[in-house]
């Protein structure tokens, strides 16, 4: 059955957005990512204009991350304190990133910077997570205690910063400046790349903030929820590009997918979760590299989006 | 004086009768002239039929009014990477253009006539303006890319030999059935039928197709545009309620170890 989308001005088979929502929602519940880096290109592939695809995806992520955050919160996997500091940093970073994009666009090389940032960040994050997780799985528990005793110079530097506070849910002590600074960093990159930034925030929480993987997933979803509420409103208000009908079709799948993902996540170990996420990130990186190097069939595209 | 007047009228009637015997008045009717876009709309089909002079070839053009469109332009950066390198503005181009010919267009119509009536991609290229381009050959290159982009979106097409012609006494009936793409925007479209003889347009007839959004589709589109604060708020609240509602349904779920 096909439905006509009033803002996208196109018709779509309802099974397509519901199926896409289910698949991306599953990843969201499993890994704590919004999935915008997957969903937006997929929607464009199915004929949705790029501006509508990006804005509507934010709308459906509100539903998926509400569903996922709720599922993780009920089992105590959301660190609200850490999430709020990251959110504050991410908000400030987003404002800086948006201004940065304006400057780059005025200079005429915004697309080059965006694409390169995309490939480098996805490539570095994906590769690091992949190899680190494989190494961790091999080392087993024997080395774990030994590793924890060895503190790196970077770790000592983090401990020396002022405003140290204990994050009970995550079981870690950090200066409040750390989540704010790294939240800002992710916010800048997310604004430059035009994505929610979940796939960057998750590694920051795992490798820099040293939070347990399952608290990372819940906290990341909590943070993504607020980011996407802001983005959805701004897109609806300024660009009129949120397609409510498409968003409803997507969220039918994504809310269920997020719940299934959260349940399924219990059956996987943290390292396994990291490896799967790393593989997905690397596959997306390879796809973007192919897009950049192979001649496109069409040399013109709809305006808007990245 | 009176006899002279009677003779003139009689001659005029005789000429009209002879003329009438030689050619039929060209007519054009679109069967589906009001297309309504509702929730279950997935495109439509429009047939055009009428009568024409038996000796004429026919060209049927279905097009929106000329307008403008801005598209992102892809190019190679550093001789290696394909990415967006700018924006091209196309002026005096219809958003939808569908051409049907009884024979190959270059065999039945003079290039000057094509240009005069904006028939065919070549004539459209001459009429269009594209900015920024360095010269005419670059303009033609990007116009061809524009046509490729539009054909890919099912909004431009040129077909030959799909007009059904049937002799009907002194007249010729014609009929063409064309799919109406769901990608075509709401608005007014003109169906123009050209009768062609000796590579010249000898007659033309017009009909209209009107496409409009109706019901909830129209309400959502209007609300998104005119009441964006309310529309954005409703979109967010529905997403929050749906996410929370599904969370409640899956009460037994969870992500803890």
In this predicted model, what pLDDT tens digit does every residue of B199-226 receive, in sequence order?
A: 999 999 999 999 999 999 999 999 999 9
In a domain, B7, yes or no: no
In a domain, B203, yes or no: yes
Cβ count near A281 (within 10 Å): 27
Q: In this structure, what token pair is assigned to residue A143?
A: 């080395």
Q: Are residues B105 and B161 in the same domain?
A: yes
Range A86-99 average pLDDT: 83
Q: Which residue has the higher pLDDT, A11 or A144?
A: A11
Q: Does B162 touch chain A (CB under 8 A)?
A: no
Element housing A3 (H / E): strand A2-5
Is the per-residue pLDDT at B23 higher than 60?
no
* A71, A251, A270 ranked by CB distance to B253: nearest: A71
* A71, A242, A300 ranked by CB distance to B247: nearest: A71
Range A14-39 average pLDDT: 85
User: Could you tell me the residue range of the domain that residue B96 belongs to?
Assistant: 25-213
In a domain, B257, yes or no: no
Element housing A287 (H / E): helix A270-293
Q: Does A112 touch chain B (CB under 8 A)?
A: yes
Which residues have a Cβ under 8 Å from the Cβ of A29 and sit 6 or more positions away?
Answer: A64, A67, A68, A71, A217, A257, A258, A259, A260, A261, A262, A263, A264, A265, B255
The Cα diameter of chain B in Å comes to 114
Is B236 in Cβ contact with A233 (below 8 Å)? yes
Q: Are residues B126 and B223 in the same domain?
A: no
* Vertex A52: Cα angle to A182 and A278 (nearest 5): 40
Residue of B142, B127, B125 lying closest to B87 (CA atoms): B142
Q: What distance in Å separates the CA atoms of residue B219 and residue B230, rounded to the nearest whole number?
A: 13
Residues B108-152: tens digit of each pLDDT: 999 999 999 999 999 999 999 999 988 999 999 999 999 999 999
Strand B164-168 and strand B156-160: the pairing is unpaired
Chain B residues with beta carbon closer than 8 angstroms to that of A60 = 239
Residue of A204, A168, A194 lying closest to A89 (CA atoms): A204
Cβ count near B4 (within 10 Å): 8
Is A260 in Cβ contact with B74 (below 8 Å)? no
Q: Are residues B136 and B152 in the same domain?
A: yes
Q: What distance in Å separates the CA atoms of residue B86 and residue B122, rounded to the nearest whole number?
A: 25
In whole numbers, what is the pLDDT of chain B averaged over residues? 86
Q: Are residues B162 and B131 in the same domain?
A: yes
Q: Are residues B77 and B149 in the same domain?
A: yes
Range B241-250 average pLDDT: 86
Measured between alpha carbons, how far apart are the two ends of chain B, in Å? Answer: 114
CA distance readout (Å), A82 to A68, A182, A221, A300:
17, 12, 12, 44
In a domain, B231, yes or no: yes
Looking at residue B44, its pLDDT comes to 93
In a domain, B112, yes or no: yes
Instruction: Give me the DSSP letters along chain B.
Output: -HHHHHHHHHHHHHHHHHHHHH-PPP--EES--EEEE-TT---EEEEEEEEE-TT-EEEEEEEEPEEEEEEEEEEEETTTEEEEEEEEEEEEEES-EEEEESS-HHHHS-HHHHHHHT-SHHHHHHH-EEES-SSHHHHHHHHHHHHHHHHHTT-EEEEES--EEEEETTEEEEEEEEEE-TTSPSEEEEEEEEEEETTEEEEEEEEEEEEEE-HHHHHHHHHHHH-HHHHHHHHHHHHHHHHHHHHHHTTT-----
Is the per-residue pLDDT at A233 higher than 70?
yes
Q: Which of A171, A259, A263 to mutate to test the interface with B (most CBs of B within 10 A)?
A: A259
Q: Are residues B32 and B134 in the same domain?
A: yes
Q: Are residues B33 and B149 in the same domain?
A: yes
In a domain, B175, yes or no: yes
Strand B97-101 and strand B156-160: the pairing is parallel
Looking at residue B20, its pLDDT comes to 40
Least confident span in A100-114, A213-227, A249-263: A100-114
The Cα diameter of chain A in Å comes to 61
Q: Are residues B228 and B174 in the same domain?
A: no
Q: Are residues B131 and B232 in the same domain?
A: no
When pLDDT is cut at 50, 70 and 90, the band that residue B4 belongs to is low
Q: Which residues pair with B81 in a beta bridge?
A: B77
Q: Are residues B87 and B177 in the same domain?
A: yes
Q: What distance in Å separates the CA atoms of residue B255 and residue B84, rounded to the nearest whole number?
A: 41
In a domain, B3, yes or no: no
In a domain, B9, yes or no: no
DSSP state, residue A210: -
Q: Does A17 touch chain B (CB under 8 A)?
A: no
- B positions 108-137 inside 8 Å of A (CB): none
Residue of B149, B159, B93, B89 lying closest to B126 (CA atoms): B93
User: Nearest CA of chain A to the CA of B217: how many Å?
Assistant: 5
Q: Are residues B98 and B192 in the same domain?
A: yes
Q: Are residues B118 and B105 in the same domain?
A: yes
Nearest CA in chain B to A77: B256
The CATH number of residue B54's host domain is 2.60.40
* A4, A71, A301 ranked by CB distance to B217: nearest: A4
Cis? peptide before B132, omega within 30° of 0: yes
| Count of domains for chain B | 2
């Amino acid at each position: 059955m096909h439905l006509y989308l009033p803002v996208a001005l196109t018709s779509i088979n309802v099974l397509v957005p519901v199926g896409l929502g289910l698949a991306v929602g599953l990843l969201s519940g499993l890994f704590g990512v919004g999935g915008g880096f997957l969903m937006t290109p997929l929607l464009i592939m199915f004929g949705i204009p790029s501006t509508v695809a990006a804005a509507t995806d934010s709308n459906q992520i509100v539903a998926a991350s509400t569903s996922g955050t709720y599922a993780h919160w009920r089992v105590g996997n959301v660190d609200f304190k850490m999430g709020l500091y990251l959110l504050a940093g991410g908000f400030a970073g987003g404002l800086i990133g948006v201004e940065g994009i304006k400057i780059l666009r005025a200079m005429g090389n915004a697309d080059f910077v965006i694409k390169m940032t995309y490939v480098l960040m996805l490539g570095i994050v994906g590769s690091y997570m992949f190899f680190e997780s494989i190494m961790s799985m091999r080392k087993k528990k024997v080395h774990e205690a030994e590793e924890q005793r060895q503190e790196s110079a970077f770790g000592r530097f983090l401990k020396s910063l002022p405003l140290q506070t204990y994050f009970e849910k995550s079981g870690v002590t950090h200066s409040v400046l750390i989540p704010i600074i790294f939240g800002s960093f992710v916010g800048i990159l997310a604004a430059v790349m035009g994505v929610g930034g979940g796939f960057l925030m998750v590694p920051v929480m795992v490798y820099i903030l040293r939070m347990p993987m399952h608290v990372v997933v819940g906290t990341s979803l909590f943070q993504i929820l607020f980011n996407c509420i802001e983005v959805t409103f701004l897109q609806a208000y300024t660009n009129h590009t949120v397609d409510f009908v498409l968003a409803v079709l997507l969220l039918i799948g994504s809310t269920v997918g997020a719940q299934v993902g959260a349940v399924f996540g219990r059956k996987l170990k943290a390292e396994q979760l990291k490896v799967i996420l790393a593989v997905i990130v690397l596959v997306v990186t390879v796809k973007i590299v192919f897009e950049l190097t192979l001649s496109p069939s069409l040399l013109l595209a709809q305006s808007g989006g990245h | 004086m009176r006899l002279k007047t009677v003779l003139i009228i009689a001659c005029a009637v005789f000429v009209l009768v002879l003329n009438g015997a030689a050619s039929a008045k060209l007519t054009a009717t679109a069967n589906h002239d009001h297309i309504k876009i509702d929730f279950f709309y997935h495109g439509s089909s429009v047939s055009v039929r009428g009568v024409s002079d038996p000796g004429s070839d026919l060209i049927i053009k279905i097009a929106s009014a000329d307008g403008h469109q801005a598209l992102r332009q892809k190019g190679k950066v550093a001789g290696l990477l394909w990415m967006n390198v700018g924006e091209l503005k196309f002026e005096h181009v219809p958003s939808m253009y569908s051409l049907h010919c009884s024979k190959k267009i270059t065999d039945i119509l003079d290039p000057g006539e094509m240009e005069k009536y904006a028939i065919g991609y070549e004539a459209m290229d001459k009429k269009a303006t594209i900015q920024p381009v360095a010269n005419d050959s670059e303009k033609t290159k990007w116009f061809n890319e524009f046509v490729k982009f539009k054909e890919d979106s099912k909004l431009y097409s040129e077909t030959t030999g799909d007009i059904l012609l049937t002799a009907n006494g002194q007249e010729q009936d014609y009929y063409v059935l064309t799919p109406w793409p769901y990608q075509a925007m709401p608005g007014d479209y003109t169906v123009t039928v050209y009768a062609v003889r000796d590579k010249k347009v000898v007659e033309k007839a017009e009909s209209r197709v009107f496409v409009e959004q109706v019901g909830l589709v129209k309400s959502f589109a209007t609300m998104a545009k005119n009441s964006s604060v309310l529309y954005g708020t409703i979109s967010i609240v529905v997403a929050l309620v749906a996410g929370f509602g599904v969370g409640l349904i899956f009460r037994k779920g969870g992500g803890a170890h």
